[in-house]
Chain A
């Protein structure tokens, strides 16, 4: 919360370099180019170097993988919530479907891993979209409730009907040939997804999505089917989640009902809150913070949830805009006090 000063107000001004690099001048000097590139490179290079830095701590390399999987979900959640207007709690569904689809192709049909993961991404995304299709006319919290129901339902169905290995899950999936592959496949695809989504939401098609969120009546009156575009949005988000789920299954070499765990629905939302909704990069940063914290707190046993909740509460109360919005404001603007 900002401190208030008597007779003063805080003025925010764009930095000159920000104004210049918004326009055509951005390619005219190294200074301006690096102003634009620095934050992006920090994230990209930071993530790419991280596995090398973590060589002495193999456990934290695994954590990095989990961070990436959550980042896929958080990206999907942020995209759906802030650009399509659907609050989806279906993260667990996406991970579970991705895991089971890839397990089906890999174990039952014997397809190689490099074919299973893309298949799981596309078909899993399609399957999730089909499941959620009847709920697409629902808005806001109603869609959230229904999408939360699906992972619970799927887990119970698999358990009760004893299909796909029942409670044991499907075992014996091929793993990645080595842990470097695991890490770099996940990190690079996560970065690609991040920058592709950022580009998409500003492209013409992204404007349709934002139109659906802001004013679906006007989109209908413009001769565009909002159900179709909502479905496309869900497909994009669920494909990302299914890719994460498929990778997770191959890393554990196992697909089971614990991959429908609600953690996969909840943590991405928390990460979006911490990182700043509507920024796309924010949720990724949120995952980079929250997932390691949750690993550190493992020693506290069940108290972990309490500490976790406190951290979240602190963010919501004191920095509700999220780290990314806060950071980009500080990066792009001056702040100073002026007399009223």
Chain B
């Protein structure tokens, strides 16, 4: 049995009187896709922030590749290969899409790893950036990579968020709601993309509200409510879990609509 790439142990975080995270623990195996679901305000994004160092946790441990991330700044954690996307996308709107990737490609990690498939020495960052965007579904022939980020539709912005992570050649990507706000066809094209990433050996955590797409992808699913983990298992196990049905889906009737 391989070692987990990411171990989260009993993480607690309170904002004033609100216990945003209450003793969350889980393991993430290399190459897996772990889904994180839960109602609004159940602490999913706080969990992402806690793992990636954007907020300081009160107690508990986050261990990435055997290394305790306590006290590390977000950029140091990203430098280790643990990256994230943001739920609210704020690309650098005034710049063309591919120029958005110059920032991650300028980082130490990208210089070390050569950026996505740069392989050792990096050529011009612009070329690498356009290559990454093409990889992730920006049609080079139609000049989408060269369009201003402000003129791109949501689907491309979500991809741009993901591309920003990929430019670092990460080992783990935590996707905070990449499917939300996408049309059905955009989502349909996103699923194979995530599968491709998994095949290339990237480990994924996907925080989602779109259960259908998530259950197709995720090997394991973690359910959160009121800051604590209420269930973990394969999608089928979680679907059958009584507590999950009650806490998250409300009642049987509502569940049938999902």
| Chain A contacts to B: CB under 8 angstroms | 204-205, 207-208, 210-211, 214-215, 217-226
Contact = CB atoms under 8 A, between A and B. Distances in A.
Give 4 nearest A-B pairs by CB, closest first: A223-B78, A222-B104, A223-B107, A220-B74
B123 to A, nearest CB: 13
Interface stretch (B82-90, B188-196, B198-206): B82-90
A309 B106 CA distance: 44
Nearest to B161: A218
Contacts of B165: 221
Given A221-B78, A222-B167, A208 B106 contact: yes
Main SS of the interface on chain A?
helix
Contacts of A226: 75
A224 B108 CA distance: 7
Given A204-B102, A204-B106, A207-B106, A221 B74 contact: yes
Given A207-B102, A215-B91, A222 B164 contact: yes
B157 to A, nearest CB: 12
A87 B223 CA distance: 44
Interface in B50-94: 52, 54, 73-76, 78-79, 83-86, 90-94
Contacts of B168: 222-223
Contacts of A218: 86, 90-92, 103, 164
Of the four ranges (under 10, 10 to 19, 20 to 34, 35 or more), the interface on chain B belongs to 20 to 34
Contacts of B92: 207, 210-211, 214-215, 218
A223 B86 contact: no
B102 A220 contact: no
B44 interface: no
B125 A204 contact: yes
Nearest to A227: B73
A221 B99 contact: no
Nearest to B77: A223
A208 to B, nearest CB: 6
A217 B168 CA distance: 15
A211 B185 CA distance: 31
Contacts of A224: 75, 103-104, 106-108
A220 B73 CA distance: 8
B258 to A, nearest CB: 31
B110 interface: yes
A4 B52 CA distance: 53
A303 B76 CA distance: 55
A220 B76 CA distance: 9
A223 B109 contact: yes
A215 B167 CA distance: 17
B54 A223 contact: no
Contacts of B108: 223-224
Given A223-B108, A223-B109, 15 more contacts: A204-B106, A207-B95, A210-B94, A215-B90, A217-B90, A218-B103, A221-B52, A221-B75, A222-B164, A222-B168, A223-B75, A223-B79, A224-B103, A224-B104, A224-B108
